[in-house]
Structure 1
Amino acid sequence: MSYFFEAIRLAFGSIWSHKLRSLLTVLGNIVAVMSIIAVVTLIQGMNVAVSDAITSEAGADAFMVERVGIITDEDEAERARRLNPRITMDDAVAIQEYAESVDAVMAKVEQRGRVTYKGRELDRTRIEGVSEGYTQFSNYGVERGRLITPTE
């Protein structure tokens, strides 16, 4: 047991006699630990941000059927529009009726156009027409009034 106390006494004596070196060693350890904590925190934050981005629009268990996907070439987009048939409301109803594992279906059509309200105009505004299931697939709610009904 006396060897243990002798080793402790020698360690503290060495620390005390080399104060600057001991201080710099402790400071280096603190900086290293803080750097590791900062990197781990940054990675966790990025994971949460990516996860939220994936699940924010409709959720991780939702998918979208589009007539034309994301195409950057205008000629290719025109070709895809010619070859791919239009998706109709009847298609959405058929998916809802015949796909047993589907809980909800939403149809959406969008285009850009001019919007006028109280004498003010906005050009190239995105205008969306949606079906009744829209709130199940988006982060938007109804501020005033009621939800869209099937007859609308």
Structure 2
Amino acid sequence: MYPEKGYVEALDWKNSDECGNGLHGLEWGIGSYIINDHGSMWQIIKVDKNNGYRDLCGKVKFKCGEVILSTLDQKEAMDLLMKYVPIELKSKVNYQVVYSEASLVINCGFCSIITSGFYSTITSGFYSTITSGDWSTISTGYNSTIISGNNSTITS
């Protein structure tokens, strides 16, 4: 169990590419690790990649970090994270919660929640929930829930 704030360390750390023996997460919220089954606490952890860090293809493993935020509010966690995500990676971040006005282009990773107005263009990964207005273009992955207005184009 990670603390709500402050320093956290894996006492069983092993510098290997095998799962286990470390703390796990998604770098910048990007990866294929489904975290929906791991409770409702959302945490933002600052990690020094030079002090025990492994990319496990879909998730990362790290020796220690600083818990910056712990919250039950997914939007609060994702809003904080998105302030620091490099611009070129923003469209790949999973678990985003986006509310927008009409005529915007929105790109998100999987398991995202997106609500937009008319004439929006939305692209998201699987397991996303999308609500949009009329004349929107929506592309999403499998197992997504889509509610859209009239004359919209949907690809799933």
User: Which category describes the TM-score, using the shorter chain as reference length?
Assistant: under 0.3
Larger relative strand fraction: 2
The structure where helix makes up a greater share of residues is 1
TM-score under structure 2 length normalisation: 0.21
Q: Which has the larger radius of gyration?
A: 1
With normalisation by structure 1, the TM-score equals 0.22
